[in-house]
Amino acid sequence: MHFPSSLLLLNLAFAIGDARPPQSAWQAKNFKTLVTFGDSYTDENRLGYFINHNGSAPPVGWEQGVGYKTATGGRSWPRYASIYSGATLYNYAVSGAVCSNQVTPRYFSAIKAPFPDIRGYELPAFIADSKYRNPNGTAFFTGKPRDTVYAIWIGTNDLGNDAFLTDSQVKGKTLKDYVDCVYQTVGKLYENGGRYFVLLNLAPLQLLPQYATPENGGLPKTKFFPNKGSNITEISYRMYETVTTVNEIFAYRTPFEASLNETWPGIKIADFDVNSLITDMWSNPKNYLNGTAPPNVTGIIDQCDAQGNNCVEAASKDSYLWYDELHPSEQADRIIAREFVGVLGGISKWAKYWG
């Protein structure tokens, strides 16, 4: 009577265990195009367009320039990944974004609306661009299914303050709705022709100065979380529990959808365990941070007061893991980009592959 359930679990165990890429499936040299979705961890300057155009979105076929001053203080990981791999970058990430404003909307006064999300803005914007032809008749999007990889890194805002951390989600919504949104995004991109995907799991948010415990450099309040409250240890542990739970869901959901359930025939998905990578940077900083000062994994480069004023930037930026209370440094993003290219090549110890 219970055999089908047992068989299902056994098959899932085999699917999870068989996570090595076929040698021919993942080779970095084969990927000519990189398409990215996410929040400020990935954005270059798309939110800036909204701010500078009274909340209006960029037009179809907008040529986005290189972001030299992103949330890292410099260039962001997708730009470095593009440089390291030679792939053309189409970046749809928006700072402040969540996966779905139907789950965790966050209002942004500068545009008099919620931050543009993946479901409602980023995904439709890419699909429109993928079908757009320039005035001279050439295609705006030049990627092909066999040489394009899609990367999704979302969740920092979904799980943070003014969202799940402070019980500010839409009534009745749970973490499952956020996770469903991520995989629904994969499904929509698959329907549009996507076949290669990299899903980046949640960063160790409990180590960020915004959410860390006091002994790990946690701050009583920040410009991103001014009404934090007094029990910052409780906040850190709640964040840790939530991140761990969601990343475990990702670890089982991907092989279930890609290999066992065969939701998307012919798809290739890599789960990039960026959480473990950043945790290793935090635990073994001398292996990653190469500034002239001693490695610093609890302090920040952009040192401001809780109102975001009177800012002073620390020297030796490459010695820091964090740029500010909420974002990795440019040096950390270089490492993430380097390992991302390793994922594309099927050689990264931080990745597992299915499909």
Residues 88 and 142 sit within 8 Å (Cβ to Cβ): yes
* CA proximity to 110, closest of 49, 60, 67: 49
pLDDT of 22 reads 53
CATH of domain 27-277+347-354: 3.40.50
Residues 186 and 269 sit within 8 Å (Cβ to Cβ): yes
Cα 200 to chain centroid, rounded: 6
User: Which percentage of the chain shows pLDDT scores above 90?
Assistant: 92
Domain assignments of the chain as residue spans, ordered by start:
27-277+347-354
Query: Could you read off the pLDDT of 9-60 as tens digits, one per residue?
Result: 445 554 455 566 555 689 999 999 999 999 999 999 999 999 999 999 999 9
Query: Could you read off the pLDDT of 163-198 as tens digits, one per residue?
Result: 999 999 999 999 999 999 999 999 999 999 999 999
| HEC string for 284-329 | CHHHCCCCCCCCEEEEECEECCCCCCCCEECCCHHHEEECCCCCEC
Q: How far is CA 39 from CA 99, 116, 117, 196, in A?
A: 9, 9, 8, 21
pTM: 0.94
- In the predicted model, residues of the chain with pLDDT beneath 50 are 1-10, 14-15
